[in-house]
């Protein structure tokens, strides 16, 4: 699924699949897998849910020109979002068909 990002987008969400690899010395490292850019969090969330894999969503904003953590999908399928005020990860409600 490809998403066209408008040139004047104020916000872009990056959904990235998390995978692990084993180095020759036996160390397990976390690496990025498939990725999709979206204009909404809903699309980014749907991408990872459709793959059924753990991953993360980051958001880039035009104003700050920075990319920040936004939400994570855990291996069990649950979602957590970063609360910017406390710095803690808080659970997100399950997506329903109406939300998606």
DSSP 67: E
Q: What is the pLDDT of residues 22-43, one digit of tens each?
A: 889 988 887 778 889 999 999 9
pLDDT for position 59: 93
Low-confidence ranges of the chain (pLDDT < 50): 96-98, 100
pLDDT for position 3: 64
pLDDT for position 81: 93
User: Can you read off the two tokens belonging to residue 84?
Assistant: 């910017």
CA angle 84/60/90 to nearest 5° reads 30
- For the entire predicted model, the pTM comes to 0.77
DSSP 88: -
């Amino acid at each position: 699924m490809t998403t066209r990002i408008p040139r004047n987008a104020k916000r872009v969400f990056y959904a990235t699949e998390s995978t692990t690899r084993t180095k020759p010395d036996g160390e397990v490292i976390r690496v990025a897998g498939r990725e999709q850019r979206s204009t909404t969090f809903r699309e980014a969330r749907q991408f990872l849910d459709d793959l059924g894999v753990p991953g993360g969503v980051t958001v880039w904003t035009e104003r700050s020109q920075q990319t920040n953590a936004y939400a994570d999908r855990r291996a069990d399928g649950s979602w957590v979002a970063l609360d910017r005020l406390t710095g803690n990860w808080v659970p997100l409600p399950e997506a329903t068909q109406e939300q998606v």
